[in-house]
Chains A and B, each alone.
Chain A
Amino acid sequence: EDKVVQSPLSLVVHEGDTVTLNCSYEVTNFRSLLWYKQEKKAPTFLFMLTSSGIEKKSGRLSSILDKKELSSILNITATQTGDSAIYLCAVLVRTGANNLFFGTGTRLTVIP
């Protein structure tokens, strides 16, 4: 059974801290790993990672995939209160429409 596990489930940090969110997976026919940020409304797409060891970066957010360890990390540096959200990891498997498996999410709270 395909499985995506995120840790920690929740995290509280102070503004300015650096955080690392983890995602591990056990799936057949892995294609890519995706990160989403979900605030009060809908999840919004952050990154898609397909190749191992290549860092994707967007501002203070960065992510990297380790296919050997079947995992990915999402780093956020110099956190701000606006980073408070649920961060979702999803793994893309096989072709066809039914192909995204989501983790449980990590709830990040950044306090001033």
Chain B
Amino acid sequence: DVKVTQSSRYLVKRTGEKVFLECVQDMDHENMFWYRQDPGLGLRLIYFSYDVKMKEKGDIPEGYSVSREKKERFSLILESASTNQTSMYLCASGLAGVSYEQYFGPGTRLTVT
């Protein structure tokens, strides 16, 4: 079974803090994704990566950056957290060319106060 894990289930941070969300997958997938999920807005893609050190912006990249130094690990970074970044963050991975079937992690619920 594919396993996608995220470093924290719940996280509370203060405005202005730098926040790291980590995602690890164990299936050697080329593609990895970060989404945020908000009521009434569904899942929105923040960034994705199709290879180590490769990244592309999704629909809402502002205020975020990412890092992929190893194939199995994809990190989402909030350089200076703001209250409007309070959300559920979901990581996903998928095979190149067959990326329709994305496997999701359990999510991190981030609250910025």
Measured CB to CB, the residues of A under 8 A from B are 4, 6, 9, 31-32, 34, 41-45, 48, 88, 90, 92, 96-100, 102-105
Q: In whole angstroms, what is the CA distance A104 to B44 when docked?
A: 9
Contact (Cβ within 8 A) A104 B101: no
Contact (Cβ within 8 A) B99 A100: yes
Pick 7 A–B contacts, CB within 8 A, sort by A: A9-B40, A42-B105, A45-B101, A88-B43, A90-B43, A100-B45, A102-B44
Q: In whole angstroms, what is the CA distance A98 to B94 when docked?
A: 11
Interface of A is mostly: strand
Q: Please encode chain B, from 83 to 98, with 1 for each CB lying within 8 Å of some chain A CB and 0 for all others.
A: 0000000100010100
Residues in B neighbouring A98, C-beta threshold 8 A? 45, 48, 56, 58
Closest beta carbon of chain A to B88's beta carbon, Å: 10
Q: In whole angstroms, what is the CA distance A31 to B41 when docked?
A: 22
Contact (Cβ within 8 A) B50 A100: no
Contact (Cβ within 8 A) B104 A99: no
For the complex of A and B, 5 pairs with smallest distance between CB atoms:
A42-B104, A104-B42, A102-B43, A97-B50, A41-B106
Q: In whole angstroms, what is the CA distance A102 to B35 when docked?
A: 10
Q: Number of residue pairs across A and B with beta carbons under 8 Å? A: 56
Q: In whole angstroms, what is the CA distance A48 to B44 when docked?
A: 20
Closest beta carbon of chain B to A2's beta carbon, Å: 9
Contact (Cβ within 8 A) B104 A48: no
Beyond the given pairs A45-B101, A99-B99, A100-B102, 4 more chain A to chain B contacts, judged by CB atoms under 8 angstroms and listed by A's residue number, are A42-B107, A88-B42, A97-B48, A99-B100
Contact (Cβ within 8 A) B100 A104: no
Closest beta carbon of chain B to A103's beta carbon, Å: 5
Contact (Cβ within 8 A) A42 B101: no
